[in-house]
Structure 1
Amino acid sequence: MKKFAKKIAAVALSVAMVGGMFAGCSAASNGDDAKTSNKKTSYKIGICQLLQHDALDAATKGFEDKLKELGEADGITFEFDYQNASNDSANCTTIANKFVSSGYDLIMANATPALQACATVTAASQTPVVATSVTDYAAALDIDMGPTDATGINVTGTSDLAPLDKQADQIMELFPETKKVGVIFCSAETNSKPQADGVKKALEAKGVTCEYYAFSDSNDISAVAKKAASEVDVIYIPTDNTAASNGAVIDDACSHANVPIIAGEEGIFKNTKAVATLSISYYTLGQTTAQMAYDILVNGKNPAEMNIQQTDDLTYKYNPDQAKKFGVTIPDGYEAVTEEATTEE
């Protein structure tokens, strides 16, 4: 473990030492409580979502729908408290503290800053946390672990990492004459740089130059996007919450420069009017997260020992208007998404 995990462990240790003083006199009652807890038929779950946009919303919906489905089959009900942090990490901490003080049975953290806040806040209470829409748990929690390993703490969940090599292949399949690709992402988002690195490695193996164009916050996006669009053949945007929330700004810069966009996930694809995307299903990802939550609450699994899960539910999508604009021949297997449908959603 590194700094973040050590911080969590230190808080938890202080609580454990105090709790240990009373362990001897309460062992019998704890055993009875454990038996009773296994018979619970109602659970309260707090949902801390970083901000509202298509991908995160789909993950939350999948999570709620699947838990309701699982609960109905076994006569168990789930009460959800959904809170939107408005893209503010401090709000994530406030929300997580509320969930813990209210004694919720489990917290679902949607996006990396939400995960980080919930992991820190629950270190003492050991409230189970399941996260989703997180690309790299090792980077997010500063823990030495593999992409699908267990965290070793009270946190588990699902990863939204798409196959970066296949996304690089997509860029070159649609734009075979590409010499230089620009990757636009937010430097403040922990998960974005590893994705950029993966795509860059795959592109450079094909002899294509790949340059980073990072912005620190939404105030910088317009200038960075304009610079990128003026210097490259194709823009690639990884899964990035800030970019997704400011898709219209990036679209404006690229449209004026007549540069196509390939998106790392469906929400960015829609918001930037990208030509195409190879995206995971965030709804399915939310469903997988729900099954993990159910296993913890109902089946007694320990989140510290549960491996991070990924999804292989991948979809190739394209925007017919943008494909026509850039003269792109779309291969078989792509699903068309019109701009009219995107606007309606």
Structure 2
Amino acid sequence: MRKITRRSFLTAAAACGAAAALSACGGSSSASSAAASSTVASASVAAASNGEKFTVGICQLVQHAALDAATQGFEDALTASFGENVTFDFQNAQGDSATCATIANGFVSSGVALIMANATPALQAAQAATNTIPILGTSVTEYGVALGLDNFSGTVGGNVSGTSDLAPLDQQADMIVEWMPEVKKVGLLYCSAEANSQYQVDEVQKYLEAKGVTATQYAFSDSNDLSSVCQKAADENDALYVPTDNTVAANTGIVDGICRPAKKPVFAGEEGICSGCGVATLSISYYDLGYTTGEMAVKILNGESDISTMPIEYTDVTKKYNKAVCDDLGLTVPEGYVEIEA
């Protein structure tokens, strides 16, 4: 457990172990533990509104720039409202969904006031661990897919809400064609262990094919086979697209080491991946996304909002490009794109 501090690793994407295969979302914890956690959580929320100290649990799937920024934004928003009265129990699952479950169950046992789940496997683990403690997800693309919800209409209900990092996928497809009007074949590279990555490539494939572009999916199971799958995708296509995929985000050097020498542009679903191996992206600010999640947490902890009625929130996207990669590939940047800061 730690008091809030500003961590120094915000801008560096670390090479971490890949995300393990996602387990199916389960139900809640036992009735006795749920009742106990409900009592503790309710007391903590009341304490928050009275200016007393309380603890928020943060489960982050893996360390890389985007998720780090979201966590920092979340912490900053809570600190802006509660100052030293908030303590964060921050835990990194090192890319392992089973570890996410262990962390979430630990938060339930310790009776944290609220859980912030950073990335889809963390959200799934938290949802399976408790149906009483408020859970806010962030860096989650599509909540209906992540939680197996039928007819999802924008509000999860129960004890879950949060923010989405989904950029308009039709515009992602438009971006690729804007940069490469003559493109014929695009490889869609993603980790099969990440449900939201599958959703994104399915949608982008649909939009690209509607434009007459052949789009082929290239799935890898973890970082151990990323290199071989990426090489195959680069060999067989004019360009690659990578969604907001946590495994790629933690291993952009592998993709860059294959695609840049081969002169194969990579288009990315978010800025962190683009800065590591991409040409261009329609990206959100993960710091802003996390900050918005923190503002939601403040409303919940102050008793101003009922999480069961809070819809998933989104943020605006910005067109960005990686100057170093564009220069190496001799690409002309279309109007309206902002250079990613080094």
Q: Do the two structures share a fold, i.e. TM-score over 0.5?
A: yes
CA contact (8 A) 1:4 1:143 kept: no
Q: Which residue of 2 aligns with 1:315?
A: 318
SS at match of 1:257: coil
Q: Deviations over 1:89-119 (max 9, x none)?
A: 1111111122111111011010011111111
Give 2:193's aligned amino acid: A
Q: Which residue of 2 aligns with 1:70?
A: 81
CA contact (8 A) 1:175 1:328 kept: no
Q: Deviations over 1:218-259 (max 9, x none)?
A: 111011000000000010000000111111111112123221
In structure 2, the CA distance between the partners of 1:18 and 1:43, relative to structure 1 (3 Å rule), is closer
User: Which residue, 84, 87, 93 being the options, matches 1:85?
Assistant: 93
Alignment of structure 1 residues 266-305 onto 2, 5 Å? 266-272=271-277, 274-305=278-309
SS at match of 1:301: coil
How many residue pairs get aligned? The number is 316
Q: Which residue of 1 aligns with 2:183?
A: 178
- Identify which range, 233-242 or 114-123, moves more after superposition: 114-123
Alignment of structure 1 residues 190-229 onto 2, 5 Å? 190-229=195-234
Q: Which residue of 2 aligns with 1:332?
A: 335
Q: Which residue of 2 aligns with 1:59?
A: 70
For 2:35 and 2:324, how far apart are their aligned partners in 1? 64
Q: Which residue of 2 aligns with 1:99?
A: 107
Q: Deviations over 1:45-75 (max 9, x none)?
A: 0110011001000100110111111225xxx
Structure having the higher helix fraction is 1
Q: Which residue of 2 aligns with 1:8?
A: 27
Alignment of structure 1 residues 30-41 onto 2, 5 Å? 38-41=49-52
Q: Deviations over 1:152-207 (max 9, x none)?
A: 22111001111111111111111111011100000010100111011111111111
Q: Which residue of 2 aligns with 1:264?
A: 269
Whether 2:139 is the aligned partner of 1:139: answer no
> Structure 1-normalised TM-score?
0.85
In structure 2, the CA distance between the partners of 1:54 and 1:121, relative to structure 1 (3 Å rule), is same
Return the offset for 1:33. 10
For 2:44 and 2:243, how far apart are their aligned partners in 1? 46
Long gaps (5+) in structure 2 = 1-22
Q: Which residue of 2 aligns with 1:152?
A: 157
Return the offset for 1:300. 4.4
For 2:314 and 2:58, how far apart are their aligned partners in 1? 20
Give 2:80's aligned amino acid: E
Q: Which residue of 2 aligns with 1:45?
A: 56
For 1:36 and 1:235, how far apart are their aligned partners in 2? 50
Give 1:177's aligned amino acid: E
CA contact (8 A) 2:239 2:266 kept: yes
CA contact (8 A) 2:47 2:54 kept: no
For 1:33 and 1:258, how far apart are their aligned partners in 2? 55
Percent identity, aligned pairs only? 51
For 2:267 and 2:44, how far apart are their aligned partners in 1? 53
SS at match of 1:239: coil
For 1:298 and 1:86, how far apart are their aligned partners in 2? 32
Long gaps (5+) in structure 1 = 20-25
Return the offset for 1:210. 0.4
> Structure 2-normalised TM-score?
0.86
For 2:241 and 2:188, how far apart are their aligned partners in 1? 5
Give 2:72's aligned amino acid: K
In structure 2, the CA distance between the partners of 1:16 and 1:302, relative to structure 1 (3 Å rule), is farther
In structure 2, the CA distance between the partners of 1:186 and 1:36, relative to structure 1 (3 Å rule), is closer
Give 1:286's aligned amino acid: G
Return the offset for 1:41. 3.2
CA contact (8 A) 2:51 2:85 kept: no
For 1:197 and 1:304, how far apart are their aligned partners in 2? 30
User: Which residue, 180, 193, 203 being the options, matches 1:188?
Assistant: 193
For 1:315 and 1:244, how far apart are their aligned partners in 2? 19
Return the offset for 1:34. 8.9
For 2:238 and 2:44, how far apart are their aligned partners in 1? 63
